[in-house]
Amino acid sequence: MPERIVVPFGPQHPVLPEPIHLDLVLEDELVVDVVPSIGYIHRGLEQLVQKREYTEYVYVAERICGICSFMHALCYCQGIEHIMELEVPDRSRYLRTIWSECSRLHSHLLWLGLFADGMGFENLFMRSWQLRESVLDVFEDTTGGRIIQGTCKVGGVRRDIGQEKLDEMHRALDPFEEKCRDLGDVFLNDETVKYRLQGLGVLSKDEAYTLGAAGPTLRGSGVAVDHRETGYAAYGDLGFKPVVETAGDCYARCAVRVRELYSSIDLIRRAIEEMPEGPIDVKVKGAPNGEYFSRVEQPRGEVVHYLRGDGTKHLARARIRTPTLANIPALVKMLPGAQLADVPVVVLSIDPCISCTER
């Protein structure tokens, strides 16, 4: 019988963009068991609700994660608005949707580049990040920030996008989509990529559902769950449908993210075309008194902000459950049976965000 050894993987590793830490139990080069460890970069952000007023905590929520920055702010603001029974203007709902989908484009293109890097496909990495730069340019033009936008607030948004800029964004979508489809064609049809990804890190539909996986990890296993279907922000007006694959392997999770690029472009196009006129925020008076579970669909999956107010300017409690935390049990299920050399690819296939997870 082969001797078993334990090899630490992370938190520092040349392939990993995130400080995830796994203890891999190996028999020769084969992974037979995995023990995850979290808490390496814990920052205590949830405790800051005791020191920051509820309107100021939006800035803290944005900094939970740079990649999901806008969506953390959106989830937090929606929760406070529900507790305080605030009705945000239609135009702010559409602007929130545009920036949310730009965040999804930016996140997926970043992930595709890192995924290509994990496979050793450096040219594909550069092409992915070149496209991502154009999305960051849109963020900079419309919000003033490339990563942390600072535009979402309780009661609406801080900035509007003028019609001239909206028209410019709309014209840029067709050539941008063409480039995304050329990029996606490599990820989905290149024989080397398919050979590396197909049949690797398989997670069945029942396993994904039972283990509570989220986002592309869940939908890549055939479970059609996407919180955008509930119609928050402007998604209820835009006719959204989730992207689903059934194979449950690394290739399927990659395919979901590639196809979500096209879906996000279509949602942005329709949001621009149907953009309503009117104000972008409402006045906020008083303080939240009650509790609410707020949910939005981040690029990695559903994020939950549990918020409880007691009628004062400081919240009594904020608790955040991120999609990476939900996907770690699924990752532990995927890895046994993989070769040590394939571990980085399987880990990257869930798109881990440890700053989100550990806060």
Which domains does the chain carry? 43-345 (1.10.645.10)
Compute, in degrees rounded to 10, the torsion defined by CA atoms 19, 299, 218, 318. 70
This prediction's pTM: 0.94
65 is in an annotated binding site: yes
Contact indicator for 347, 16 with CB cutoff of 8 Å: yes
356 is in an annotated binding site: yes
State the DSSP code for 237: H
Distance CA 129, CA 111 (A): 9
* Of 143, 63, 61, 60, the residue nearest 95 (C-alpha): 143
Distance CA 263, CA 299 (A): 12
Residues β-bridged to residue 25: 6, 33
Distance CA 126, CA 346 (A): 21
250 is in an annotated binding site: no
Contact indicator for 280, 142 with CB cutoff of 8 Å: no
68 is in an annotated binding site: yes
Contact indicator for 330, 217 with CB cutoff of 8 Å: yes
38 is in an annotated binding site: no
What residues in the chain have per-residue pLDDT under 70? 1, 13-17, 359
Q: Determine the pLDDT at residue 37.
A: 83
Q: Determine the pLDDT at residue 209.
A: 94
What are phi and psi for residue 125, nearest 5 degrees? -60, -50
Q: Determine the pLDDT at residue 47.
A: 84
